[in-house]
């Protein structure tokens, strides 16, 4: 479907109107001022338009199908248009099966998703890294009980196998870990990953928070997702301009409405898996500190 969105920027203290041409599920052109084309137009008067949220749901692999559907509905209603999740494995021979199972859990998803791998540090091997490179898996989550698990990995071999795709590797620590200890372990990991030139995230992902832009760049999800500019997917949320509530009135994924506040969730199964051609395509530092 081809249409134009006319977005006033009054909230930024200007009379400027940006026009977005949505074509083939992407924003194909952005213009300052009106576009003179004979296509359907959508006015944003009384509404705010923001990029769709990208949020993690790393625990999805532990959920039942019904729980996944419930969680996805909550995510969509809060403005999520892309989900970051993972398949939990113990050994390389588990990977294909667990990736398939994770995809099956997301079969009815209305929003797009990006899948990585989760495993304990003791299980990471050069062969797993090569598998990620071959299958274009952009990240590995290392599930740790304490920091000592990370020091036992031969990172030189992991670094060699990780070239040139640069799968992002980051640890998560138990939720009940004391905050002071968690910060200490994270700092030690940042120092270790910097020394070993392992691409990583400088802090853990919180399922209730948006993924920061520097992380999206490292993971290779940006610029396809996370922005409103020419070439990005047409993922956006519409909010009331007159209300302080940030609950979206409508959520759009690749130019199609998948949720609105006056109708139940639509387009089940519309979501698709994102293939990351190359993480760190913008040359972000190996340990992002922005």
d(CA 275, CA 76): 21
Give residue 287's pLDDT. Answer: 42
Give residue 34's pLDDT. Answer: 87
Neighbours of 60 (CB within 10 A): 23
- Same domain? For 6 and 133 the reply is no
Reduced 3-state DSSP string for 241-266: CCCCCCCCCEEEECCEEEEECCECCC
Q: How many structural domains are present in the chain? A: 2
The list of the chain residues with pLDDT below 70 reads 11-13, 243-245, 264-266, 282-290
What confidence tens digit (pLDDT) does each residue in 60-103 have? 988 999 999 999 999 999 999 999 999 999 999 999 999 999 99
d(CA 96, CA 134): 12
Domain that holds residue 197: 53-219
Give residue 241's pLDDT. Answer: 79
- Same domain? For 11 and 124 the reply is no
Give residue 76's pLDDT. Answer: 94
Note whether residue 212 is domain-resident: yes
Note whether residue 190 is domain-resident: yes
- Same domain? For 77 and 7 the reply is no
> Which of 195, 219, 243 delimits the end of a domain?
219
Give residue 288's pLDDT. Answer: 39
- Same domain? For 123 and 91 the reply is yes
Note whether residue 254 is domain-resident: no
Return the exposure string of 130-155: e unless at least 16 CB atoms fall within 10 Å of the residue's CB, then b: ebbbeeebbbbbbbbeebebbeebeb
Neighbours of 190 (CB within 10 A): 19
Q: How far is CA 22 from the centre of its chain?
A: 21
> Which of 194, 219, 244 delimits the end of a domain?
219
Give residue 244's pLDDT. Answer: 67
Neighbours of 266 (CB within 10 A): 14
Give residue 211's pLDDT. Answer: 96
- Same domain? For 21 and 125 the reply is no
Give residue 290's pLDDT. Answer: 32
- Same domain? For 141 and 178 the reply is yes
- Same domain? For 178 and 85 the reply is yes
Note whether residue 280 is domain-resident: no
CATH number (domain holding residue 98): 3.20.20
> Which of 219, 237, 265 delimits the end of a domain?
219
- Same domain? For 25 and 90 the reply is no
- Same domain? For 127 and 99 the reply is yes
């Amino acid at each position: 479907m081809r249409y134009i969105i006319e977005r006033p920027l009054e909230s930024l203290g200007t009379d400027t109107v940006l026009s977005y041409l949505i074509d083939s599920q992407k924003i194909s052109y952005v213009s300052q001022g009106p576009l003179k084309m004979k296509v359907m137009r959508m006015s944003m008067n009384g509404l705010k338009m923001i990029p769709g949220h990208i949020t993690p749901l790393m625990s999805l692999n532990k959920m039942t199908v019904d729980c996944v559907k419930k969680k996805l509905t909550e995510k969509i209603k809060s403005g999520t248009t892309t989900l970051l999740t993972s398949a939990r494995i113990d050994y390389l021979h588990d990977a294909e099966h667990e990736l398939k199972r994770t995809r099956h859990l997301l079969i009815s998803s209305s929003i797009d998703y990006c899948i990585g791998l989760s495993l304990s540090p003791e299980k990471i091997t050069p062969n797993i890294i090569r598998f990620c490179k071959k299958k274009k898996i952009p990240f590995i989550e290392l599930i740790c009980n304490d920091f000592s698990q990370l020091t036992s990995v031969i990172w030189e071999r992991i670094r060699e196998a990780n070239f040139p795709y640069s799968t992002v590797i980051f640890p998560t620590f138990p939720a009940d870990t004391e905050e002071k200890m968690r910060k200490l372990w994270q700092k030690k990991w940042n120092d270790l990953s910097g020394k070993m030139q392992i691409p990583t995230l400088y802090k853990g992902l919180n399922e209730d928070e948006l993924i920061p832009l520097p992380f999206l760049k490292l993971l290779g999800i940006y610029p396809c997702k996370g922005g409103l500019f020419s070439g990005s997917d047409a993922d956006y949320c519409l909010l009331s301009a007159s209300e302080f509530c940030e609950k979206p009135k409508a959520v759009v994924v690749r130019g199609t409405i998948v949720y609105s506040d006056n109708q139940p969730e639509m387009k089940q199964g519309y979501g698709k898996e994102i293939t990351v051609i190359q993480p760190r395509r913008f040359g972000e530092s190996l340990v992002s500190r922005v």
